[in-house]
Amino acid sequence: MGFLSWLRSLWPSQTNGAGSQDDVPVAADGDAGQSDQASTADKPPVDRTQEPRAAAAAARILYGTIEDYDALSQTGLVTLADGATLGFGKEDCDDFTPLIGVRVAVHGTRLPPDSALHDAADRLGLWACRVTVWPGSESEYAARLRIHQVERALRGAGERGESAPGEPPWARGKNRPGRKPSGPGRPKDAFFVLTLVLEQKLAQDAAALSALIDPPSAPQAHTTAEAAADPEPARRGGVWRRPSVRIIPLIRNQQNEPGFSAELQSGPHRAFLLYRPQPYGGEGYGGHTHVGLFVGGPHSPRVAAQLSQRNDQAPVAVTHDAARVLADLARAFLLAQPDAPGVVLNRAGKAFKPRDIALSQLGDEPNEHLPFVFWMDWNRGERAGRPFLVSSGLEIVSLPDLAVSLATVAGAEPAADDAAEARARDVMLYVCDALLRGAVRTDQSTVAVPRTIRLLPGSRLEIVTPSDCETYILSAQDADWIELSRAAEPE
């Protein structure tokens, strides 16, 4: 029963004098009453005190969708099926976390609390006094809750863009006639770690998606000995061995949206993707579809530390395994679509890497070596007014970003040629690799960098002459940055 219909049913003309729906109607005249008595004389007595109460209770349950919710004021709005709106508070929710888009059942209403009346003036009607998850939509709620937890970990609890802190939903300015706004919209890619720009569409099928990530094994070994030594040859998916895939439909305002989300799991590894059959960022990156990849937590200890200052709960830190499993996913998708334009690194200033460059830095096959070059980008920049080659994106591998001075030696004028920038890039890659291997200590003041460094596929470095090195000074170190300047050579 709709909310407005239920209100009409409570009108005195629709009930007896007491306004109760639980009483049995009285016959209008004696003949009708005698006829009823005769028809029921042979029937066993029925307890009519329970059935009408249960039927009336079921009829009073109102179904709707949470249209808006503010985490700071802990209040929200439920839009019912007939368009009516109810306010509610978090304390009214029965054993679930209120989230925008969750379908709910309202089991009762009351007058709004004094605080809500003060904020809403005359715009707020009744208030829900008990709200539960819509029966049968528990799995949908669980999927929304999981996505919400990821988004909260990455963006911070209670962030509402430019809306006032703790401002209840009904007190915000309207952005379209007749609807309650939900504040400034968040970027759709806010929680993506990287975005795969693809050309072909993906089938919304769990088995097909699992086979795409981890395709059938390579041809069996030629000899029995080789087959015994390697009963299951290397698979393209790396750690994603026959992953389980759970498709999560995209639903907004009870309408299906194009694309889908999916939860991927293989052993201890878990990740999420969001697929949209539309270009990413307009037409800037090319392609006709895109897939955003992300995991359930912040990407580095420094991000976790920032979040812990705003959240009561301790954030979950992401280790190198997260960078490795997402890299394996990216490799699988790029290999599956030879015409894919490339990858956008959302956590590295949205740097775009074409498919061939991304696959070269990832390597042809998964291995234990972390493909750190795939996760980073570098550009000319300034720090304290001095020119540097600065990196971005190293938070995914739990490292501070690097800034290499473009001066030939510390204190000298910077070089403007491409050779100086190429040398700074080699120094950056070498120091990053050394930090990952633990070859550079936090209390170290200098590092010896070989003069000739070659970048190989799979983010591996080749040192041509290990003994021919230059000394670089670690001029500044903190949780976010490490600065390096070339030291003057002794005469």
Instruction: Please provide the average confidence, as pLDDT, over all residues in the chain.
Output: 74
The 3-state DSSP composition of the chain as helix, strand, coil percent (nearest 5) reads 25, 25, 45
Q: Choose the weakest-confidence range: 206-215, 295-304, 442-451, 478-487.
A: 295-304
Greater confidence (356 vs 304) lies with 356
E-assigned strand segments in 188-230: 194-198
Which stretch of 103-107, 169-173, 346-350 has the lowest confidence by average pLDDT? 169-173
Measured CA to CA in angstroms, residue 107 lies from 12, 55, 75, 129, 440 at distances of 22, 13, 17, 7, 62
Angle value at C-alpha 29, between 25 and 30, nearest 5 degrees? 105
Q: E-assigned strands of 18-154?
A: 62-70, 75-80, 85-89, 103-110, 127-133
In this predicted structure, which of 269-283, 290-304, 430-444 has the lowest mean pLDDT?
290-304
Confidence at residue 458, expressed as pLDDT on a 0 to 100 scale: 93
pLDDT of res. 51: 52
Give, in degrees to the nearest 5, the angle at Cα 22 between 16 and 28.
Answer: 45
**Total residue length of the chain:** 491
Output the pLDDT for position 268.
Answer: 83
Please compute the mean of the pLDDT values over residues 24-29 and round it to a whole number: 34
* 47 vs 16, residue with greater confidence: 47
Which is higher by pLDDT, 231 or 104?
Answer: 104
pLDDT in tens, 270-285: 888 999 999 997 667 8
Residue 152's pLDDT band (boundaries 50, 70, 90)? low
pLDDT of 371 strictly over 90: yes
Retrieve residue 33's tokens: 């009453």
Amino acid occupying residue 481: W
68 or 197, greater pLDDT = 197
The predicted pLDDT at position 125 comes to: 64
What is the arithmetic mean of pLDDT over 258-268?
88
CA distance 393 to 376: 5
Q: How many other C-beta atoms lie within 10 A of the C-beta of residue 28? A: 8
Q: Identify the pLDDT of residue 403.
A: 95
pLDDT of residue 325: 86
d(CA 433, CA 459): 9
Res. 70: pLDDT tops 90: no
Q: Hey, what's the torsion of the CAs at 331, 333, 339, 344, to 10 degrees?
A: -70
Q: How confident is residue 416, by pLDDT bands cut at 50, 70 and 90? A: low
Residues 231, 244: Cα–Cα separation, whole Å:
22
Residue 328 has what pLDDT?
Answer: 92
pLDDT at residue number 324 = 87
Q: What pLDDT shows up at residue 303?
A: 55
Structure confidence by residue, pLDDT tens digits, 177-194: 444 444 444 466 767 889
Distance of CA 195 to the CA centre of its chain: 12
Nearest to 306 by CA among 295, 296, 317: 317
Mean pLDDT (whole number) for 3-18 = 44
Instruction: Quick: pLDDT tens for 454-490.
Output: 999 999 999 988 899 999 999 888 878 999 999 877 6
pLDDT at position 365 is 79
DSSP string, 263-313: EEEETTEEEEEEEESS-TTTTTS--SEEEEEE-SS-SSHHHHHHHHTT-SS
pLDDT of residue 456: 94
Q: Mean pLDDT across the stretch 315-327?
A: 66
Predicted confidence at residue 81, as pLDDT, reads 79
In what side-by-side order are the strands of the sheet with 386-392? 377-383, 386-392, 401-405, 481-486, 469-477, 446-450
Measured CA to CA, the distance from residue 65 to residue 309 in angstroms comes to 32
327-341 pLDDT, tens digit each: 999 999 999 999 999
Q: Which residues contact 442 (CB under 8 A, 6 or more apart)?
A: 477
Pairwise pLDDT comparison (44 vs 356), residue with the higher score? 356
Query: What pLDDT does 36 receive?
Result: 40
What confidence tens digit (pLDDT) does each residue in 399-411 have? Answer: 889 999 998 665 5
Taking phi over 0 as left and psi of -120 to 50 as alpha, with beta for the rest, 229 belongs to alpha
At residue 237, does pLDDT exceed 80?
no
Is 80 exceeded by the pLDDT of residue 436? yes
Highest-confidence range of 167-171, 295-299, 321-325, by mean pLDDT? 321-325
